[in-house]
A and B are shown apart, each in its own frame.
Chain A
Amino acid sequence: MSDGWERLRRATRARIGLGRSGEAVAIRDVLAFQMAHAQARDAVHAALDPGALSEALSDDPGPGVPLLLHSAAPDRGTYLRRPDLGRRLAAESAAAIPRGEWDIAFIIGDGLSATAVQRHAAPVLQAARRRLHGLRLAPPVIALQARVALGDEIGARLGARLAVMLIGERPGLSVADSLGAYLTFGPRPGRADSERNCVSNIHGAGGLSHAGAADRIAWLARQALTLGLTGVALKEDMQPALPDVSATLSPPG
Chain B
Amino acid sequence: MTSRTSLAGGERHRFEDLRALLAAASPRRSGDELAGLAADSDARRVAARMALADLPLAVFLKEALVPYEADEVTRLILDRHDAAAFAPVRAMTVGGFRDWLLSHAADGAALAALAPGLTPEMVAAASKLMRNQDLMAVARKCRVVSAFRTTLGLPGRLASRLQPNHPTDDPRGIAAAVLDGLLLGSGDAVIGINPATDNLPNCMRLLDMLDELRQRHAIPTQSCVLTHVTSAIEIMRRGAPVDLVFQSVAGTEAANAGFGVNLAVLREAHEAALALGRGTLGDNVMYFETGQGAALSAGAHHGLDQQTAEARAYAVAREFRPLLVNTVVGFIGPEYLYDGKQIIRAGLEDHFCGKLLGLPMGVDACYTNHAEADQDDMDQLMTLLGVAGVNFLIAVPGADDIMLNYQSLAFHDVLALRDLLGLRPAPEFEAWLERMGMLTPEGRLRALAPDTAPLARLAAEAGA
A residues at B contact (CB < 8 Å):
3-18, 20, 22-25, 29, 33, 36-37, 40-41, 43-44, 80-84, 112, 170-174, 176, 244, 246-250, 253
Q: Assuming A9-B176, A14-B176, A23-B412, what are 9 further A-B pairs, CB within 8 angstroms?
A: A4-B451, A8-B463, A12-B177, A14-B164, A14-B398, A33-B399, A40-B369, A80-B338, A172-B369
Q: Which of B34, B180, B338, B419 contacts A16 (CB 8 A)?
A: B180
**28 CB-based A-B contacts, threshold 8 Å:** A4-B451, A4-B464, A5-B464, A6-B464, A8-B179, A8-B464, A11-B172, A12-B170, A12-B402, A14-B164, A14-B166, A14-B177, A14-B397, A14-B398, A23-B416, A24-B416, A33-B399, A33-B400, A37-B375, A44-B369, A80-B370, A81-B34, A82-B34, A83-B335, A170-B370, A244-B168, A246-B167, A247-B167
Which of B's residues lie within 8 Å of A, judged by CB? Answer: 30, 33-34, 164-168, 170, 172-177, 179-180, 196, 334-335, 338, 368-370, 374-375, 396-400, 402-407, 410, 412, 415-416, 418-419, 444, 447, 449-452, 459, 462-464
Chain A residues near B403 (CB-CB < 8 A): 248
Residues of A contacting B170 with CB < 8 Å?
11-12
Chain A positions within 8 Å of B374 at CB level = 37
Contact between chains at A173 and B400 (CB < 8 Å): yes
A97 smallest CB distance to B (angstroms): 27
The answer to whether A41 touches B369 (Cβ under 8 A) is yes
Bound CA span A33–B403, Å: 16
Question: Given the complex, which residues of A lie within 8 Å of B412, measured CB to CB?
Answer: 18, 20, 23-25
| Contact A11 to B369, CB < 8 A, known contacts A16-B397, A16-B398, A82-B335 | no
**Nearest residue, chain B, Cβ from A171:** B369
Q: How far is the CB of A201 from chain B (nearest CB, A)?
A: 10
CB pair B369–A5 under 8 Å, yes or no, is: no
- B56–chain A nearest beta-carbon distance, Å: 36
Most B-side CB within 10 Å, residue of A23, A40, A41: A23
Do A8 and B34 form a contact, CB below 8 Å, given A15-B397, A23-B412, A170-B405? no
B388 to chain A, nearest CB (A): 20
Nearest chain B CB to A31 CB, angstrom units? 12
Q: How far apart are the CA atoms of A176 and B30 in the complex, in Å?
A: 25
CB contacts (< 8 Å) of B464 on chain A: these are: 4-8
| Contact partners of B165 in chain A: CB under 8 A | 14
* Given A14-B164, A14-B402, A41-B369, also A23-B419 (CB < 8 A): yes
